[in-house]
């Protein structure tokens, strides 16, 4: 059973700054089978990245994903006001989610 | 565009069965490329995938070990929907329940429904 650990728990940044979110797996994830989601209060999660680095439909190019094996990163190059939310990583096998990183002002 | 619309009671008594339905528009429950999932979210458990159903020449269902034995996810092709039944619920099953589309990752989600288990 793979466990996903996200860090930091909370990221305090300002609009225009760069956000770097980490997702670490307890075992290697094959074939970059990792996704990222954004969730705002009262809403369902929204797919941001799949295959570790492919942006989902409608996701702006300030979002990028990278990594392989056990270490993955979601980067938001310049934060817009609508990007402040909770972000979760998810590995395909077993469909397990990380605990989330809150990006707040 | 694909939309998922959930329905079902928001309050279930302990030991009873939680039942939710997810209506699909813009896609087919019988699609040979999609899978149809139930996921829940609570402060104690975070986001937890519960199971999926999908069609690949025949119907398959897969369930998380944490709820296996208490859960059934079934398609209804006549109504283009799928359902969740979770038996013998306890207060620990209180959560926001989501339906979602995806075989490996989840690209479409229902609006979510809070289900409270309480007497």
Q: pLDDT, tens digit, for every residue of A16-65?
A: 999 999 999 999 988 789 999 999 999 999 999 999 999 999 999 999 99
Separation CA A92–CA A49 (nearest Å): 12
Is residue A60 classed as helix, strand or coil in its secondary structure?
A: coil
Task: Check residue A32 and give its pLDDT.
Answer: 81
Q: How would residue B72 be classed by pLDDT, with cut points 50, 70 and 90?
A: very high
Q: Which of A88, A92, A94 sits opposite B47 (nearest CB)?
A: A88
Q: Which two tokens stand for residue A62?
A: 């300030």
Q: Which residues, in sequence order, are bridge partners of residue B96?
A: B41, B114
Placement of tokens 């990183």 in the chain:
A101
Q: Which of A57, A94, A97 sits opposite B46 (nearest CB)?
A: A97
Separation CA B84–CA B37 (nearest Å): 9
The answer to whether the CB of A90 falls within 8 A of the CB of B105 is: yes
Shortest CA gap B114–chain A (Å): 11
Q: With 90 as the cut, is the pLDDT of residue A1 above it?
A: no
Separation CA A104–CA A92 (nearest Å): 27
Q: Which of A5, A32, A42, A44 to mutate to test the interface with B (most CBs of B within 10 A)?
A: A44
Q: Which two tokens stand for residue B73?
A: 């996810």
Single out the residue of B19, B9, B24 nearest to residue B77, CA to CA. B24
Placement of tokens 């938001």 in the chain:
A76
Contacts of B107 in chain A (CB under 8 A): 47, 50, 56-57
Separation CA A68–CA B98 (nearest Å): 29
Cβ–Cβ below 8 Å for A33 and B104: yes
Q: Which two tokens stand for residue A75?
A: 């980067």
Task: Check residue A95 and give its pLDDT.
Answer: 86
pLDDT tens-digit series, residues B43-59: 999 999 999 999 999 99
Contacts of B105 in chain A (CB under 8 A): 35, 47, 50, 90, 92
pLDDT tens-digit series, residues B24-42: 999 999 999 999 999 999 9
Single out the residue of B98, B103, B114, B3 nearest to residue B50, CA to CA. B98
Q: How would residue A94 be classed by pLDDT, with cut points 50, 70 and 90?
A: confident
The answer to whether the CB of A65 falls within 8 A of the CB of A59 is: no
């Amino acid at each position: 059973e793979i466990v996903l650990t996200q860090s930091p728990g909370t990221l305090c940044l300002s609009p225009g700054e760069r956000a770097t979110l980490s997702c670490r797996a307890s075992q290697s994830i094959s074939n970059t089978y990792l996704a990222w989601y954004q969730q705002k209060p009262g809403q369902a999660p929204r797919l941001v990245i799949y295959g570790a680095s492919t942006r989902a439909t409608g996701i702006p190019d300030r979002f990028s994903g990278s990594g392989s094996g056990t270490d993955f990163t979601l980067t938001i190059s310049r934060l817009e006001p609508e990007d402040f939310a909770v972000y979760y990583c998810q590995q395909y096998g077993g469909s397990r989610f990380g605990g989330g990183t809150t990006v707040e002002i | 565009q694909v939309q998922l619309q959930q329905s079902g009671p928001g309050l279930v008594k302990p030991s009873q069965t939680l039942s939710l339905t997810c209506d699909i528009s813009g896609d087919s429950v019988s699609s040979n490329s999609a899978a149809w999932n139930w996921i829940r979210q609570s402060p104690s458990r975070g986001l937890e995938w519960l199971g999926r159903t999908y069609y690949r020449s025949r119907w398959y269902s897969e369930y998380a070990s944490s709820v296996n034995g208490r859960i059934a996810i079934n398609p209804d092709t006549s109504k283009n929907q799928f359902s969740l039944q979770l038996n013998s619920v306890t207060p620990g099953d209180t959560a926001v329940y989501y339906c979602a589309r995806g075989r490996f990752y989840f690209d479409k989600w229902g609006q979510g429904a809070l289900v409270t288990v309480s007497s």
